[in-house]
A and B are shown apart, each in its own frame.
Chain A
Amino acid sequence: MSSPLLVLENISKNFDNEFLLDSINLDLLPGEVHVIIGENGSGKSALMKIVSGLYSRDSGSIRLKGEEIEFESFHAARKGGIFYQHQDNQLFGNLSVAENVFFDRYAREGRLCRYFSRARTELECAELLRYFGIDFNPGMRVNRLGYAERQLLSAVKAYVSGAEVVIFDEPTAAMGEIERNLFFTILEELKERVEGVFYISHRMDEIKRVGDRVTVIHKGRIVSTSRVNEIDKSTLVGMMIEDPHRERYPRLSLHPGGTILEVKGLSSEPILHSVSFSLRKQEILGITGLMGSGRTLLSNCLFGLAQFTGGEILLHGKQVSFNHPLDAMQHGVILVPENRSENGIFPPLNLITNLTIATLPRFLNSLALNELYMRQLTGEYIRRLGIVPGQFKDILRFYSGGNQQKVLLSRSFMCRAGIYIMDEPTRGVDAAAKVDIYNSINDLVGKGASVILISSEIEEILGMCDRVLVLAGGRIACDLPRDEATKEIILDYATSEE
């Protein structure tokens, strides 16, 4: 066996929220595609961010071709030959396809002087795209491309980057079958050009297709590294899980009432395909699935944020169609969105505005807002949820993630809706805030509301929900009552294709 290209030795890093990477040992052999799998939050991306200089490490060493490397920044890593393709895209939306592909290559092309020729860039790009069979116009602005198309473009960018090591972080998460095939063609070609590839994935079927070796990470530790052709799927799933701590989730065993929301054959091409389920009164319905399984799109469809191409939604037995979130709110449906800093809170506004902005009519006193009542009511929420520091005039940008999340939730509680759709309500918050959020959910259902809890944390879904839906590839893979759901079953369905 040849000597490894990249060696990671005893890499450790402490993050807050009881999460850490614990003495990771990993190597990348020349010419191989090394797949890294693990649950959400197991540390795959964090590890790769350390390799690519985005995060610093607490201890341990990284050697590239036998030489110790210590990248101060992402840029330094790029120069050192490591290309990291982010889970979220880092393309420039206002530049053209060609400009993005050659963004950091062409400026330094000339031997004596740096020059840039748009015509030449576009010509080369067109050639490249034709070679891979991708049908983009090189002059098109990138912000007109969809998410999956951008991922594809990033792969092309990796191809021309001239890097020695390329790291892909779930590149195919949102891709359809056609894009995935294109992506794998690029990857095949890429293998010839670069010396090694790390490939983070969730999909079991991809491992066999692209990988040479596979490493399983669980809770910041390496469970095993093995050759792909020596291992089967069930062994891998088995390694990804651990006994869940279900008992710590405060849960009420209420008896859900009649159906209040019914979704029939909801489709939103190309991601969601014929999704049907129902929600009962006082029920906590859990929806889980991997990145790109359509969880967030589903919640947006239910809230009138995204249009769907087929199917219907019945609320209290009557068909409804929400063209706007306001319609949904008037029907008593509230969404607590996933990405709180972008879609939820208003970072530059103060606490009291952030809390009351969805329910201002409540405070209307003839023509003015009753400020005394606003302060009294928000004060009560601040006290109950323990929002700190909790002064009315605090600008929300300076609050911690957990407190921002509590503000976002309080705002939706003030609406007193009948159906709450919560998308990742506990992501990035500490244990104490989690306890508060779970108890709030209990309070909602205890008082007659229903909750759709969307989460990638399977343990949380198992701990809190009455019923679990697993989304895989935009379809409902299974609908399990609480007693029958286990982590193994859920993971098995979530990673299944079709």
Chain B
Amino acid sequence: MIVKDASIPYSYEQFVMFAVERTRIIKNFLRENRQVEVHALSSMLNVSEVTIRRDLEKLERDGVLTRTHGGAVLREIEESVQPEPTADVSRDSREIASVALNMIEDGDVIMLTGGDICDCIARRIVERNGITVLTNYIPVATEIARQPSNRVVLLGGDVADDGRSLYGSLSVANLRRFHVNRLFAEVEGIGENLEVSVASHEKAELIEAAMESAEEKIFLCMGENFGRNAFFRLGSLKLADKVITNPSISDEYKQQIFVRNIQLHTSINVFEGRV
């Protein structure tokens, strides 16, 4: 939104203001993405790459970032001193979502169940084209609806207590009509013996129905939920083809899942920036 303002012709006075504004945008962008590319910034802010390089140099002197070949990565000294627990949770979800995004190909029909991670996936799907998303989660539906190149189908049903998810026989019946390439199901617990559980029986019912029609079944689970049991049992992890989690999952679970021949993906995120 601020980006659009950048393309308006400006006087010299505005330009000085804009230089300040530009650094603010770059800082925000960095905080959000942890990395930037010079050419991306230059097209986003509609200024030359030389200008962006100058801005990055200034920000590097200020200690905000480290310049790399063709871009910059965030230095996080201030952030690491005072970690915000809430911000951390959403960062984990974001990272899990970016692993999931690597599994989605243009033209796929995917199903997203409700939850933070699925919400993050929905936001990133804008990077793909021609995706049809089936969901029972209203925030996902509104997010996809904003993306011109992708479609969304919201399954009907009873509105759950959180006011955002739809469950019940209606949604299950609707779901059965679709063929899904990939199912992304967010689960709340993976306990001993790799027993999967979710928060409610309605959710379990929906995931079971979705698994029947899905080619590839991918479970999403936060690392801290391994070793925990949620309210309703869904079945063995063997049901899934892939599991995605964040690197805080314990070594015992990594080992168990590997030995049981299930693909375990972690959002290990060891490469800063992109090549």
Contacts and interface: CB of A to CB of B under 8 A. Distances in A.
**A and B bound?**
yes
Interface of A: 18, 245, 247-254, 281, 332, 362, 372-373, 376, 379-381, 383-386, 409-410, 413-414, 416, 418, 430-436, 439-440, 442-444, 446-449
Contacts of A443: 268-271
Contacts of A442: 99, 102, 265
Contacts, number: 111
A248 B273 contact: no
Nearest to B268: A439
Given A379-B80, A436-B254, A247 B270 contact: no
B5 interface: no
Interface residues of B, number: 37
Contacts of B262: 247-248
A449 B271 CA distance: 9
Nearest to A440: B270
24 contacts: A247-B241, A247-B261, A247-B262, A248-B262, A249-B263, A250-B242, A332-B275, A372-B77, A376-B77, A384-B247, A385-B247, A409-B270, A416-B273, A418-B275, A430-B251, A431-B254, A431-B259, A432-B254, A432-B255, A436-B266, A436-B268, A442-B265, A444-B271, A447-B273
Interface in B220-275: 241-242, 247, 251-252, 254-255, 257-266, 268-275
Contact of A416 (B241, B258, B266, B272): B272
B27 to A, nearest CB: 17
A214 B87 CA distance: 62
A447 B271 contact: yes
B269 A448 contact: no
Given A376-B76, A447-B274, A385 B268 contact: yes
A253 B216 CA distance: 13
Given A245-B261, A431-B254, A436-B254, A448 B247 contact: no
Contacts of B247: 383-386, 436
B174 interface: no
Contacts of A436: 247, 254, 266, 268
B66 interface: yes
A281 B268 CA distance: 21
Contacts of A440: 268, 270-271
B75 interface: yes
B275 A448 contact: yes
B33 interface: no
B68 interface: yes
Contacts of B68: 416
Given A245-B261, A431-B258, 6 more contacts: A383-B247, A386-B251, A431-B259, A432-B255, A440-B271, A448-B274
B102 A252 contact: yes
A248 B270 contact: no
B261 A439 contact: no
Contacts of A247: 241, 261-263
